Amino acid sequence: MTSALRREYLAAMGLESWVVRQPSGAGAPPIMAATASVAQALRPATGFEVAADAVAKPGALHREAGFDWAQLRERVAACTRCGLSATRTQTVFGVGNLQAQWLIVGEAPGADEDRAGEPFVGRAGQLLNAMLRAIGLPREQVYIANTLKCRPPQNRDPQPNETAECFPFLERQIELLKPKIMLVVGRIAAHNLLRTEVSLSRLRQQVHLFGASRIPLVVTYHPAYLLRTPSDKRKAWEDLKFAREVSARG
């Protein structure tokens, strides 16, 4: 990507004056073995640190195991496993490149997504696209999904039973995609994937490992939050660069 083009995307993020660093080379801190204590894992990170105790441990065999992409999509479209099926316009399965190395995971569809049947459309989606392009990733090169496939009414937080019922769909998407890295946007998605209630600010800037495949997982702010709190866009940009470095070293 040319520097002029990157400046354009950074401007779209509201970060006109930022200088892009290249990914660290051989001198960058290595990813540490996953042996840290909770206290160690949650201390302010200075490099590539693995938050070992936040490793998610989903069941080895879950409800959706074995289904292929087409079958899974059909099962989501027909799902009535929780009350959100009664209020949705349509399910929002996920979208993107099935060979993608990056999986972006958000919380749940909003009003725009519920109407379109696609995650991250509307203003938050446009900001996500700009964030991805700023690190050289067109939307077409990633896969995007949510932890919940139906919109909660009035965009309220998902309830535990809704999350529990829906999570196997995302688990199967992850198994099928086999991403090289997961970028999780927002507190609720991070909490669901990492099975923690640690604040997002303390989950950022660390490499978490997801599931038995120990997929590197990086947490950052949700684009909708960044639209409401533009002063945190700088932190999001640091997270994106961090994720890119993690991916480059994988």
Residues that bind ligand SF4 (CB under 6 A): 76, 79-82, 84-85, 91, 148-150, 162, 165-166
Please state the closest distance from residue 84 (CB atom) to ligand SF4, in A. 4
Q: Which is nearer to ligand SF4, 24 or 90 (CB)?
A: 90
Q: Which is nearer to ligand SF4, 170 or 177 (CB)?
A: 170
Half-sphere exposure of 107 (CA within 13 A, CB side): 21
Question: CA–CA separation, 49 vs 29, rounded Å?
Answer: 8
Please state the closest distance from residue 172 (CB atom) to ligand SF4, in A. 12
Q: Which is nearer to ligand SF4, 79 or 95 (CB)?
A: 79
Using left for φ > 0, alpha for ψ between -120 and 50, and beta otherwise, residue 205 falls in left
Picking from 93, 80, 58, 81, the residue whose alpha carbon sits closest to that of residue 175 is 58
Please state the closest distance from residue 158 (CB atom) to ligand SF4, in A. 8
Question: CA–CA separation, 135 vs 142, rounded Å?
Answer: 12
Structural contact between residues 157 and 197, judged by C-beta atoms closer than 8 angstroms: no
Residues 6 or more apart whose Cβ sits within 8 Å of residue 12: 126, 127, 130, 133, 134
Q: Which is nearer to ligand SF4, 168 or 216 (CB)?
A: 168
Which tokens is 115 given? 């109407």
Please state the closest distance from residue 59 (CB atom) to ligand SF4, in A. 16
Q: Which is nearer to ligand SF4, 81 or 222 (CB)?
A: 81
Sequence letter at residue 187? R
Please state the closest distance from residue 6 (CB atom) to ligand SF4, in A. 37
